[in-house]
Amino acid sequence: MGRMPLSSHRRLIPAVAVSLILLTYFLWFDSYTRSRVVLSVPENDNDTPRPRPPPRILLVSALFPLPHSKHSHEEYREWLAKFIGLIACDIYFYTTPDLAPVLETLHASSPAADTHTLTINTTFASSFDIPPLKPHREKYVQMHAWDRERERHNPELYAVWNAKPWFLEQALISLRQSKHQEYDYAFWNDAGSFRNTHAFRHWPDPGRVEQVWDEAYAIAREGERDGVRMVMGKEDLVFFPLYSMPGREQMGWRREMGPVDFDFSEGSFFGSSPRSISWYTKTFYDMHDHYISTPPLPLAPSPLPKHPHAPQNQNQNQNQNATTPPPFHFVGKDQTLINALIFRFPHRFFTVLAPPRAGFLPSSLSLSSPSPSSPSPHPAVDTLSYTLQRHLTRLRLTIVHLLNRSARMRATFGAAMNTCGDDWFYYQFWLAGKEERRGMVGVWEGMSFFGPWGRKGEEGYCVGSVVGVEGALRGLMGGRWVERVRAGGG
Ligand SMILES: *[C@@H]1O[C@H](CO)[C@@H](O)[C@H](O)[C@H]1NC(C)=O
Ligand SMILES: *[C@@H]1O[C@H](CO)[C@@H](O)[C@H](O)[C@H]1NC(C)=O
Ligand SMILES: *[C@@H]1O[C@H](CO)[C@@H](O)[C@H](O)[C@H]1NC(C)=O
C-alpha cells in the first residue's frame, strides 16, 4: 500500500519552526512518560528454559514492474538489496522471469545464502493473472474513473495490492506440496519496504514473534465475552500494523457503505499462522467480491467533519455526475478493504502503533479489554480529554511532517523528529530481536540532531506494546458500536 502524505503547507517560517521543535519535544516527553498504553514488553532473555523450538517463519513478497514503470533493473536491485540481500529468513517471491536472476544474485551474495531459502515463482506475468483477480480486470479499469486518487493510481496497482493475501496463502501451499516444508508463521512483506538503511538481519526475530503472539493471545483471552470464546487459539490471531485509529468520522459506518477509506491499516506487512492466513484470504476475497458486485448506497452528504489529512476529493471537479453513483463499490485500495475487514472481525487482530501515534489509542486501554458485558456508556471518541489527546497527537505529527518537508530543516536537524524511525515501518523495529533493536537505535541516533535527548534506556521511547484491536475499538467507539459493526448491521 502506498504512503499517504499528510496535507501540508508550502511556506514555513523557519523561526516559528525552531520554536515548534522545542514545543514538540516538550509535548513528546510529556506524552510518552504519561501514556499508559506504551508499556514495555518484558524480554524473555533471563534464561527461562524455552521448551518450544523457535517458530519457522516465511516471508512472502512479489514484484511485477508496472506497465509504464520507468524503473530499471538496477533500481530494483538497489531496493531489494536491503531485503533479499540482508534479511535471513526463508523468502517466497513472485516476480517476472527477467527479474528472477536479479533476485538470485542478491540471495547468493547474502549472509543467509546457506541457511535460508529463496523460492522464486515466475508463473504469473502480472498480478492480474491470479485466479481471484482475473475475472475482474475490466471492472478494475472501470473503477479507476471514480478513484479519488486517480492521478497516483492505476488498475495494475490495484491488482498488485489486492493480490497480496492470495500470494501469501499460495506460497505456503506451494512449499508444503513441493518440498513438504511447513511454517508456523508467514508474513506478507512489501518488496520495497526495506529501502532505507537498517540493522535488521534475522528478521522477524522468531522469539520475538512468539512473544508478541503469546501476549496478544493473553489479551484476547482476558477480553472474552461473558465466557464466550471469541478466539480459539493463539494461531487464530492475525497481526496487522495500524497507522491511526478510527474517530467520530467512522461512528456511522455500516457494511453497505463499503470499504472504509482512511489511514487505519497498513498493507505493507501482515501475517499469521497458516490456518489464519487461509481464513484471512477467504474473508478478504469474499468481501472483495461482495463489494465489487454491489452498488454503493446513495449516500446523503456526510454531516461529519472530513478527516483533515484526507487528500482532496478530485472527483468533485471532474465528475459532475453527482446523481449517478458508480455501479459498484470501489475496491481498488486493499487498505480500505482491510479496514472494513478489521471492523467486522476485530477479535481476530492485534497490532502495534508507532509510539508517536500511541495518542490515537484510548487512554483507558490497558492490556485487558474493557469489560465486554458493559458496553462503555461514553466511548472515548465522545470525551473531551480524548479529543484533546487526538488533536495534540495530530498537531505533533503535523509539525514533524512540516519540518521534515523542508530540505533545509532536514539538513539542519537531520531526522531530529524521527526518533523511532518512519512511523509506517515501525513494525520492523518492533519485530526485531533485542540486539538488532539496539543496533537500529544506534542508526537513528547517528541521523538525529537531538538523538540523545529523546531517549530513555536502550530502546528509548521506541517501545510499543501489543494492542488488541477489539479492546482498542471498544475503548474508542464503545462496545455497542463494536457489536453492531461485527453483526454487519446498520
Ligand atoms: C507458482 O505458484 C502457483 C500458485 O500457487 C503454483 O500453482 C505453481 O505451481 C508455482 N510454481 C512453481 C514453479 O512452484
Ligand atoms: C456522466 O453521465 C453521462 C450520462 O449520464 C455519462 O455519459 C458520463 O460517462 C458520466 N460521466 C462520468 C465521469 O461518470
Ligand atoms: C522525512 O523525509 C525523508 C525524506 O523525504 C523521509 O525519508 C522520512 O521518512 C521522513 N520522515 C518522517 C518522520 O516523515
Contact 95, 202 (CB under 8 A): no
Is 2 within a domain? no
pLDDT value, residue 37: 34
pLDDT value, residue 47: 52
pLDDT-derived band at 463, boundaries 50, 70, 90: confident
Is 318 within a domain? no
pLDDT tens digits for 333-361?
Answer: 999 999 999 999 999 999 999 988 999 99
Reply yes or no on whether the pLDDT at 417 is more than 60. Answer: no
Nine-digit cell at 266?
Answer: 497498513
Is 3 within a domain? no
Is 448 within a domain? yes
Q: Which residue has the higher pLDDT, 171 or 438?
A: 171
| Among 339, 341, 347, residue whose Cα is nearest residue 245 | 339
Contact 205, 431 (CB under 8 A): yes
Is 234 within a domain? yes
DSSP 8-state code for residue 465: -
**Is the C-alpha dihedral spanning 153, 247, 486, 327 positive or negative?**
negative
Q: ω into residue 204 within 30 of 0, thus cis?
A: yes
CA 167 to ligand 1: nearest atom: 5
CA 171 to ligand 1: nearest atom: 5
Q: How many domains does the chain have?
A: 1
Confidence (pTM): 0.83
The edge-to-edge listing of strands for the beta sheet with 118-121 is 118-121, 90-95, 57-63, 185-189, 269-272, 238-239, 349-351, 467-468
Nine-digit cell at 406?
Answer: 523542508
Question: What are the DSSP calls for 46-64, one per residue?
Answer: S-----SPPPPEEEEEEE-
Question: What are the DSSP calls for 134-166, one per residue?
Answer: GGGHHHHHHHGGG-TTTTT--HHHHHHHHTHHH
Nearest CA to ligand 1 atom 6: 174
Compute, in angstroms, the gap from residue 414 CA to the centroid of ligand 3: 10
Helix (H) / strand (E) element for 238: namely strand 238-239
Is 275 within a domain? yes
Which neighbouring-strand residues pair with 238? Answer: 349
Does the C-beta of 321 come closer than 6 Å to ligand 2? Answer: yes
Span 462-486, average pLDDT: 91
Which of 275-279, 440-444, 450-454, 484-488 shows the lowest mean pLDDT across its residues?
450-454
Nearest CA to ligand 2 atom 3: 321
Is 439 within a domain? yes
Q: Which domain holds residue 295?
A: 14-299+327-486
CA 404 to ligand 3: nearest atom: 1
Q: How far is CA 451 from CA 198, 358, 419, 421, in A?
A: 17, 20, 7, 12
Reply yes or no on whether the pLDDT at 410 is more than 70. Answer: no
Contact 245, 264 (CB under 8 A): yes
Which neighbouring-strand residues pair with 63? Answer: 95
pLDDT tens digits for 33-75?
Answer: 333 333 344 455 555 555 778 999 999 999 999 877 778 888 8
- Closest ligand, as measured to the CA of 97: 1
- Closest ligand, as measured to the CA of 167: 1
Nearest CA to ligand 3 atom 3: 404
E strand intervals along 345-405: 349-351
Is 305 within a domain? no
pLDDT value, residue 72: 84
Contacts for 445-452: CB closer than 8 Å, 24+ residues apart: 447/414, 447/415, 447/418, 448/414, 448/415, 448/416, 448/418, 448/419, 449/412, 449/413, 449/414, 449/416, 450/25, 450/413, 450/416, 450/419, 451/419
